[in-house]
Amino acid sequence: MNFQFRPLELPPIPQPKAKELINLANGTGGSSPIAPPELPPGVPKYQATMPRSLDDILADIEKGTGEKVTILEWVYLFYAKEDWDRQQGSDRAKSSSQAIWQFAISEYKHKIKSRLFWRLALFYDSKCQDIKVLPPSLADAFPEFVSPLKKSDSLTVDILSALAEYTKSHNTFNLCKTITRICFQELLTPKKLLKKANLPPDVYPLDVGAFQAMIKEFNAQNNPNRKQASLLINCLEEMSEKPQLHGVEYLLTNVSKEIAGQFPDIMVKWVKQNYGSTAPNSRWNQLSQEAKDALQKWLELLSYKYFDKLVKILLDKLDLPDWEWNQLKSRRGFWSNYSDRFGRMRIVLPQSSQKAIKEAIGSEFEHQDISILEEDGSEPTEVCIFDFGDCCIVEFFRGLGSETRVFNVQDYPNIKTKLFESPTLSLKRLRCLGGEVHDHKFLWQGYCEKLLRNRNIYPNEGTEDFIGLKVPHNQYNRETGLPAPSFSEQEERRHKLKHWEREMAEIQRAADLFCRNLSG
């Protein structure tokens, strides 16, 4: 089926002449083909007025009636005054700019002052040098009015003064130092600082140099606090990918492990979550070796601090017999000699003591790996598992046995997965894993030090007096270790070990039987 339609015919559209368009613009179209539409009753017809000259605008400002100047006229003034200044000469340019600043100070609603501040910041920004944002004469007049302007806008004026000084000297160090000092006073990142001051956020970008200045200011504090540590992390979170990487490198290599260790839940936690070797989507592989080593030292010291605090809590909160109390205290002293060597750590608590210990630990341990032991009939004890790289160490703190087990990663290829990633652990399961078992009986420290030294685990650099031992047993040598006990001391130790070995053999048999029954 075919359809045919007639062509649509429209009347010709009249073509307006130039004169008619002019009349329309002036509202005098009359009977012209394109006359303006009729307005509703009571609505006045808009009457266009000719724009005022810059002389007229400035006359109002200089007479003290700047409120008559419209916003559009101010925009025109900011754009055109530079050319006007050249025509009028330097004296007239200066006096008119002074009048503008004077009006901005006295203006009730401060609309013009805020626009002047914004444009002045852009004027100082090198990226805007080719754009007419503000006449140079207004920027030149700004320093004369710093004192009265600071009465109501101290923060903004301080920032603008720093930018003005940089424009003259091009001294990036001084600019970063000044802005950083203000950031620490306000506890705000540069971006948020500029926002608070109602200034463009891009006039002081948070690049690597700016972040390095933040680190130097942080290190210069006599006693840096949590808010200042949070400020550094907030800065890193605002940085784009590449500057952030360089910033983290500088943070790790310039903030000591002792200072970082004061803020485990702020500084260490953030770096570990984003750049740690085991964190998901970590940027660990992008770090330099120097930064990796520094991060490892942060984490080693932090792990020791957790261990030290846990032992202190056990000593304070649990009602322990004297021999267990002394044993825990001696272990705390021994491992303090290795505080710089600790890797990651997992804390495993028995159900019987978890409540008291967790309450005492508090929020400081909230991101530490803490698990609860499954009940398996064993005498309760707290356990710490340490990662020393090529070997793992499991410390049973108290009770019968209360041994140390050392696992060489080469001999136990999956040991780290079993120790650090198993969702459930029990004392018997841990003992079923094997390892080299070491005691904590008379003069155990020298033998344990040798066991560690044979696995390239040495005390902290510079150790000469071994903490936890009395003279002469505490004299340490990196090559030979601790002094050998006398013959009589060795005999006493062998005697005390016999009873422990019988206990340990019974504990191991029970653990092996438990694990065999589990496997069916």
DSSP secondary structure of 116-175 = HHHHHHHHH-GGGTTS-SS-HHHHHHGGGGHHHHHHHHHHHHHHHHHHHHHHHH--HHHH
Q: Does residue 92 fall inside a structural domain?
A: yes
Q: Do residues 91 and 224 share a domain?
A: yes
pLDDT of residue 340: 82
Q: What is the pLDDT of residue 302?
A: 78
Cα 301 to Cα 460: distance, rounded to the nearest angstrom:
11
**Last residue of a domain, which of 201, 231, 261?**
231
CB 23 within 8 A of CB 32: yes
Between 3 and 347, the more confident residue is: 347
* pTM greater than the 0.85 cutoff: no
Quick one: pLDDT band at residue 304, thresholds 50, 70, 90? confident
- Does residue 116 sit in the same domain as residue 210? yes
pLDDT, tens digit, 9 for 90 and up, residues 473-508: 999 999 999 999 999 999 999 999 999 999 999 999
Instruction: Work out the pLDDT band at 21, boundaries 50, 70, 90.
Output: low
Matching residue, tokens 């592989």: 285
pLDDT tens, residue by residue, 114-133: 999 999 999 998 766 677 88
Closest Cα partner for 207 from 169, 162, 178, 245?
245
Give the end of a domain, one of 209, 231, 253.
231
Are the CB atoms for 380 and 352 separated by under 8 Å? yes
Nearest to 475 by CA among 485, 484, 465, 467: 465
Half-sphere exposure in the Cβ direction for 65 (13 Å, CA): 6
What integer pLDDT is reported at residue 306 of this predicted model? 80
Sign of CA dihedral 261, 266, 271, 273: positive
413 domain residue, yes or no = yes
Structural domain count of the chain: 2
Across 433-451, average pLDDT: 93
User: What is the pLDDT, as a whole number, of residue 392?
Assistant: 94
- Give the chain's length: 520
Average pLDDT over every residue of 450-457: 93
Record the tokens describing residue 457, joined without a space. Answer: 């685990």
Q: How far, in Å, are 265, 285, 288, 344 from residue 275 at the CA level?
A: 15, 8, 11, 14
Give the residue with greater pLDDT, 20 vs 438: 438
Q: Nearest CA to 493 among 431, 459, 446? A: 446
Q: Which of 335, 346, 517, 354 is nearest to 444 (CA)?
A: 335
Cα dihedral value 99, 104, 106, 108, nearest 10:
150
Identify whether residues 201 and 317 lie together within a single domain.
no
Residue 272 lies in a domain: no
Cβ pair 137, 148 in contact under 8 A: no
* 1, part of any domain: no
Looking at residue 46, its pLDDT comes to: 60
409 and 493 assigned to the same domain = yes
Domain boundary among 231, 261, 278: 231
Let me know if residue 348 belongs to a domain. yes
Residue 168 lies in a domain: yes
Are residues 457 and 320 part of one domain?
A: yes
The reply to whether 326 and 223 lie within a common domain is no
Residue 373 maps to a domain:
yes
Comparing CA positions, the residue from 110, 137, 111 lying closest to residue 123 is 137
CA distance 8 to 195: 60
pLDDT at 12: 75
Among 116, 213, 112, 125, residue whose Cα is nearest residue 156 = 116
Arithmetic mean of pLDDT, 97-104: 95
Q: Give residue 207's domain range.
A: 54-231
Distance, CA of 500 to CA of 271 (rounded, Å) = 44
**β-strands 345-349, 369-372: how paired?**
parallel
Mean of all residue pLDDT scores within the chain: 88
Provide the pLDDT for residue 166: 92
138 shares its domain with 223: yes
Contact 132, 123 (CB under 8 A): no
Q: Cα–Cα distance between 74 and 76 in angstroms, integer? A: 5
Asked if residue 292 belongs to a domain, the reply is no
Residue 444 C-beta-side C-alpha neighbours within 13 Å = 19
Asked if residue 317 and residue 227 are part of one domain, the reply reads no
Is the Cα torsion angle 54, 57, 61, 62 positive or negative in sign? positive
Read off the pLDDT of each residue in 180-187 and give the average, rounded to a whole number.
97
- How many Cα atoms occupy the beta-carbon half-sphere of 169 within 13 Å? 12
Whether residue 385 is found in the same domain as residue 511:
yes
Do 169 and 312 reside in the same domain of the chain? no
- The alpha helices in 36-108, defined as continuous H runs, are 54-62, 71-88, 90-106
How far is Cα 376 from Cα 177, in angstroms, rounded to an integer?
60
The pLDDT of residue 87 is 94
Statement to judge: residues 383 and 504 lie in one domain: yes
Does residue 331 sit in the same domain as residue 474? yes
